[in-house]
Structure 1
Amino acid sequence: MSVNAVTHLNFRGDAREALTFYQSVFGGDMVAVTYEEAGNVEDPSEADQVMWGQVAAGNGFRVMAYDVPSRTPWNQGENAFFLSLRGETAEEITGYWRKLSEGATVLQPLAPAGWAPLYGMLKDRFGITWVLDVAGEYNAP
């Protein structure tokens, strides 16, 4: 028996746009169920917002998201979490970096690091901080 941990991102009205963007970066299938489709509309202005959404790609990438309803407190916070993406090759990680960095703020340029052949950090256009690196053996000093 096994389990999978999947990052679940919370937005305020941007979940569909974010999921669409992540699908454009990683490929795979996107599902977005609105509050209306789920029969859970409490505020008519939020009927088309995402109650549950997911992008699942054959390469193992998974992310879930939804739009926090206005009746529920929500604060994006500051450094509440990072989404870490580890790959096996520089080509793979560089490709994802190029796509994710569109409209992003680069916090640490993608470059070799003491603990990884390639490492970088950015905050994407939706305010999500991504840490990307190539998995490598750590050689402590």
Structure 2
Amino acid sequence: MTITTTTHLNFRGDARAALDLYRTVFGGEAAVVTYRDAHAVQDEAEADHVLWGQVQSPAGFHVMAYDVPGRLPYDPGANPVFVSVRGTDGDEVRRYWTGLAADGTVLQDLAPSGWSPLYGMVRDRFGVVWVLDVAAEQAWS
């Protein structure tokens, strides 16, 4: 049996914009199904919100997202999840960093660390915290 895991992010009305940002940053294709598309509208004001969406790139990036309906509780909390993006090319990781940091908040500058040639943490404009680094051979066991 083979499995994969995919980060699934929850929003309150911002899923489409977030997916657009991630497609711009990481490339690939976006797919979006709204509540209207799925004939699942319970609140007309939310009909065009995302029931299911994803961005998937040929390079291996894959994230899913949806808009939590207003009738359900939604509290993103404090640091409920970090999305980790690890690459092997520093220039590629820098491009991702630049895209995610636009209108976001840098939590840890993208710079060399004790375990990686480049490591950084940024909260994008939707409140999602991303950890980006360049894979390196671990010096400890």
Report the TM-score, using the length of structure 2 for normalisation. 0.97
Residue of structure 2 equivalent to 1:42: 42
**CA–CA separation in structure 1 for the residues paired with 2:123 and 2:88:** 22
Residue of structure 2 equivalent to 1:90: 90
1:23-70 deviation line (CA, Å, top 9, x unaligned): 000111101100011010111110000000000100000000000000
Structure 1: 4+ residue segments shifted above 3 A: none
Q: Give the 3-state SS of the residue equivalent to 2:118 in structure 1.
A: strand
Fraction of identical pairs, as percent: 55
Matches within 5 A, 1:1-141: 1-140=1-140
Shift of residue 2 of structure 1? 1.3
Q: Give the 3-state SS of the residue equivalent to 2:136 in structure 1.
A: coil
Amino acid at match of 1:47: A
Shift of residue 140 of structure 1? 2.6
Q: Give the 3-state SS of the residue equivalent to 2:112 in structure 1.
A: strand
Report the TM-score, using the length of structure 1 for normalisation. 0.97
1:10-32 deviation line (CA, Å, top 9, x unaligned): 00000000001100001111011
Structure 1, unmatched stretches of 5+, are none
Structure 2, unmatched stretches of 5+, are none
Shift of residue 137 of structure 1? 1.0
**CA–CA separation in structure 1 for the residues paired with 2:138 and 2:15:** 36
